[in-house]
Amino acid sequence: MSFHAALRNGTKSVFLRVEEAFDAPFGGQDNPLRHLGAMGLYLLWIVVGSGLYLYTVLDTGIDAVYNSIGYLSQEQWYLGGVLRSLHRYASDGFMLVMLLHLVREWSYGRYYGFRLYSWMTGIPLIWLAYIAGIGGYWIVWDQLAQLSATATTELLDWLPIFSEPSARNFLSSDTISDRFFTVLIFIHLGVPLLLILGLWAHVHRVSQVDYLPTRRVMLATAAALTLLALLRPALSNPPADLATVPGELAFDWFILFIHPLTDLTSPAIVWSLLFGLTALLFALPLLPHAKAQPVAVVDPANCTGCDRCHVDCPYAAISMAPHPDRPGFKLAVVDPDLCASCGICAGSCPSSTPFRRRATLLTGIDMPQLPVNALRQQLEQALEKLSGRTRILVFSCARGAQAMPLASADTAVIELICTGMLPPAFVEYALRCGADGVVVAACRGGGCDFRLGERWTSERLLGDREPHLRHSVPSSRLLVLLGSAHDSGALANTLSEFRTRIETLGVATDRLPPYLRSASHHA
């Protein structure tokens, strides 16, 4: 294993453990660590909303700008002061969440293949976020702004981009005019607008985007930041005085860390680090990584153009085009560059029902590495081999809890690429072909590697999403467990409890009528 792979796996393990620990109080959907992108967007909207108010009351003059911002904190602390603090703390939160999002996506290996576009479009956003953040501090024009402006221009001057050193603009107070702040505010509005545009591009190729976290998370985050704003309001340092070097300053390490780093090292080292890290992030997809899996394949003869795969695909890899052979019908078309090879589309296809009459089950959209026909054959063979009082079939996600070790004489395990690829009719089919119970072991809520697999699986099996499991299937014989790779023990325990529960049903009256495909009238 390479150093990079070892580092990535180690980081992933830490993230997984912490995320799973957070699941206890938050649950999957409310777990902020599982929705860092949405958290970042939410914090950005707080920054934008509070910033709009600050913009309306800001007076752009050398002295006026400091006084008008100071007025907010001193005289209008209940509104302007709180909004100013929210603006700062949400910006810091955004930086923190953005960094965590970056490291998490890297550690989960989400930087190549179908995720390449999102990865590449995300990297420039980091630069934009820091440009906007650093520029925002200058507007206050206090001693921290002075330090940042001087240090930033000195850093920029190391690059051969200006004919005259830009730091000369901050030599003395008479070199700065009111116009400077007008330009600064223009930049501080323009760069975040670019950031929002970049974010749109960043999520452009993802469907069902979580633009915002859940309402509960939003309320709790807003409450926490507002409380912080009240308890520790953001205040200005003393006004800027270019004739002196600022003394001890309250310092924002989330945004301005680059200045102490430059003081500690040198502009050459800082630029090397910044450009090197950026180049490294861009080059990550070139490093060795897992081989791409075969993508979904559409069978025009069996595609009804129903649109469900198009709706359910987590990566917008499927579009609908006019069917070449059936006028008035549509045909699913897979974009291989965007396909995640998760099989969620196969699970959504109504043609994937195993009750179909043909000896070879052909469906509208299928995975070459695990076609639904092979899945049906695997299921039938597994059920044939099962013996014992209570025969249970487990459909498990290959990336979730380890179910294979649970296979035994009375327990069969079928591993899926993602449980989202399981057509719900397979559950009924298993129960009618000899299984006493079916367990579907999906990933934890919000923990699906393909984003939506566990959600679609649950909704389909609960009858909330098409194709749904028929209501005639007794719920007592189906168990859906949401668990991660660390929940293998919990899966074993739950399976044991499930078996006991079924056995206590005795000669159950809820058993479905048997179905033998070869003897059915369809055959």
Q: Looking only at residues 83 through 122 of this chain, which bind another protein when binding is defined by CB under 8 A?
A: 88-89, 92-93, 96
Query: CA-to-CA distance for 98 and 210, rounded, in angstroms?
Result: 15
283 binds another protein (CB under 8 A): no
Q: Find, among 324, 317, 340, 330, the residue nearest to 453 by Cα.
A: 340
220 binds another protein (CB under 8 A): yes
CA atoms within 13 A on the CB side of 12: 17
Closest CB to another protein among residues 1, 243 = 243
225 binds another protein (CB under 8 A): yes
246 binds another protein (CB under 8 A): yes
Q: Looking only at residues 37 through 56 of this chain, which bind another protein when binding is defined by CB under 8 A?
A: none
Exposed, middle or buried: residue 464 (CB in 10 Å: 0-12, 13-18, 19+)? exposed
Q: Looking only at residues 156 through 185 of this chain, which bind another protein when binding is defined by CB under 8 A?
A: 157, 163-165, 167-168, 171-172
Q: Quick check: 465 and 420 in contact, CB under 8 A? A: no
Closest CB to another protein among residues 112, 251 = 251
**Among the listed residues 6, 14, 224, 462, the single contact to another protein using CB under 8 A:** 224
**Among the listed residues 10, 260, 276, 336, the single contact to another protein using CB under 8 A:** 260
* Residues in CB range of 371: below 8 A, 6 or more apart: 346, 361, 363
Q: Total residues contacting another protein (rule CB under 8 A)?
A: 48
Distances in whole angstroms, Cα of residue 289 to Cα of each of 112, 292, 341? 8, 9, 16
Closest CB to another protein among residues 103, 203 = 103
* Smallest gap from residue 157 Cβ to another protein (A): 6
Q: Looking only at residues 325 through 344 of this chain, which bind another protein when binding is defined by CB under 8 A?
A: none
Stretch that binds another protein, among 253-261, 337-345, 353-361, 417-425 (CB under 8 A): 253-261
Q: Find, among 12, 32, 13, 11, the residue nearest to 23 by Cα.
A: 32
Closest CB to another protein among residues 108, 251 = 251
* Residues in CB range of 388: below 8 A, 6 or more apart: 409, 410
254 binds another protein (CB under 8 A): yes
Q: Which amino acid is at 460?
A: R
Residue 194 tokens read as 């670019």
Closest CB to another protein among residues 92, 487 = 92
Residue 17 tokens read as 């453990």
* Smallest gap from residue 23 Cβ to another protein (A): 10
Q: Looking only at residues 18 through 37 of this chain, which bind another protein when binding is defined by CB under 8 A?
A: 22, 24-27, 32
Stretch that binds another protein, among 61-69, 149-157, 391-399, 495-503 (CB under 8 A): 149-157
Q: Find, among 411, 441, 443, 430, the residue nearest to 474 by Cα.
A: 430
Closest CB to another protein among residues 147, 502 = 147
154 binds another protein (CB under 8 A): yes
Distances in whole angstroms, Cα of residue 233 to Cα of each of 46, 79, 80, 240? 16, 11, 11, 20
Residue with tokens 């004739």: 243
Distances in whole angstroms, Cα of residue 24 to Cα of each of 28, 29, 268, 386, 482? 9, 11, 46, 36, 13
Stretch that binds another protein, among 17-25, 54-62, 424-432, 433-441 (CB under 8 A): 17-25
For the chain, the residue count is 523
| List of residues contacting another protein (CB under 8 A) | 22, 24-27, 32, 88-89, 92-93, 96, 147, 151, 154, 157, 163-165, 167-168, 171-172, 220-221, 223-225, 227-228, 231-232, 234, 242-254, 259-260, 263
